[in-house]
């Protein structure tokens, strides 16, 4: 039987579903320590390196700042990095000496800093043979951010490697590249600390990548 021709009209077509932001409760679900809630038995959090991890132990800290220059106190950040030899761990194991994946968050108190306890990552050779400078990939989730923002953290004491990194140097503006460079400072207990503020909009806006 011949089927009748049918062309959907504007009235019959479904509208796109609205994008969802992280909402005000992201800490409750994924950052229990920051939310003041009891942690789960196995919690992915900000200590990516433990005893026995290969590489130089470091601390990474920063703030998230909005377009008005105000602190974003309820942001969640996911981190993904190689170990000290430039290798990634494919599976998360809570008791492993090192995990490539971690989470951190800003807080309602004080300077509202996020923190990662990890090792300095090694350089990574891509499939095309080009070498990326040591870096940590960061994804930022927050209220008002419809899709998580992807960025990277590089290290200011890796100037030679940074100067040759194909991803960092894809950012044409030298000033814009500086928004990705964490500055080394004295840390506690002799552990080096690197600081990077993530600026969501406005002057000094952090470079965000579409990948």
CATH of the domain at 161: 2.60.130.10
> In whole angstroms, what is the distance from residue 113 CA to residue 58 CA?
16
What are the angstrom distances between the C-alpha of 189 and each of 57, 84, 121? 11, 20, 20
Q: Could you tell me if 184 and 49 are in contact, meaning their C-beta atoms sit under 8 angstroms apart?
A: no
Average pLDDT over residues 152-173: 97
Structure tokens at 121: 């990552």
pLDDT tens digits for range 97-127: 999 999 999 998 889 999 999 999 999 999 9
Longest alpha-carbon distance in the chain: 81
Structure tokens at 9: 């009209």
- Checking if the pLDDT of 1 tops 90, the result is no
Count of domains observed in the chain: 1
State the pLDDT confidence band at 13, using cuts at 50, 70 and 90.
confident
pLDDT tens digits for range 34-75: 888 998 888 899 999 998 999 999 999 999 999 999 999 999
- Mean pLDDT over the full length of the chain: 91
Phi, psi (rounded to 5 degrees) for 82: -85, 165
> In whole angstroms, what is the distance from residue 141 CA to residue 106 CA?
11
Phi, psi (rounded to 5 degrees) for 174: -60, -35
- Checking if the pLDDT of 14 tops 80, the result is no
- Checking if the pLDDT of 9 tops 70, the result is no
Q: What percent of the chain has pLDDT over 70?
A: 93
Range of the structural domain that residue 123 is part of: 58-199
70 domain residue, yes or no: yes
Phi, psi (rounded to 5 degrees) for 128: -90, 5
20 domain residue, yes or no: no
pTM for this predicted structure = 0.89
**Closest by alpha carbon to 82, among 129, 19, 152, 5?**
152
9 domain residue, yes or no: no
Could you tell me which residues come within 8 angstroms of residue 57 by beta carbon, excluding any fewer than 6 positions away?
49, 117, 118, 119, 191
79 domain residue, yes or no: yes
87 domain residue, yes or no: yes
Q: Could you tell me if 19 and 143 are in contact, meaning their C-beta atoms sit under 8 angstroms apart?
A: no
**Closest by alpha carbon to 89, among 53, 62, 125, 64?**
53
37 domain residue, yes or no: no
114 domain residue, yes or no: yes
């Amino acid at each position: 039987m011949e089927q009748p021709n049918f062309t959907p009209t504007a009235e019959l077509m479904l509208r796109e579903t609205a994008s969802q932001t992280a909402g005000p409760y992201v800490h409750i679900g994924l950052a229990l320590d920051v939310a003041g809630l009891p942690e789960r038995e196995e919690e992915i959090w900000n200590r990516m390196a433990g005893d026995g991890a290969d590489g130089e132990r470091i601390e990474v800290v920063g703030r998230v700042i909005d377009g008005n220059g105000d602190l974003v106190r309820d942001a969640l950040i996911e981190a993904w990095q190689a170990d000290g030899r430039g290798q990634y761990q494919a599976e998360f194991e809570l008791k492993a000496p090192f995990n490539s994946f971690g989470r951190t968050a800003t807080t309602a108190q004080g300077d509202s800093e996020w923190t990662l306890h990890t090792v300095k990552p090694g350089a990574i050779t891509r499939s095309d043979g080009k070498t990326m400078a040591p870096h940590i990939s960061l994804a930022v989730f927050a209220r008002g951010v419809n899709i998580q923002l992807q960025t990277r953290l590089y290290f200011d004491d890796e100037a030679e490697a940074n100067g040759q990194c194909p991803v960092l140097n894809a950012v044409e503006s030298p000033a814009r590249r500086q928004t990705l460079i964490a500055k080394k400072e004295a840390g506690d207990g002799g552990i080096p600390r690197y600081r990077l503020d993530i600026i969501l909009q406005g002057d000094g806006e952090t470079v965000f990548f579409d990948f």
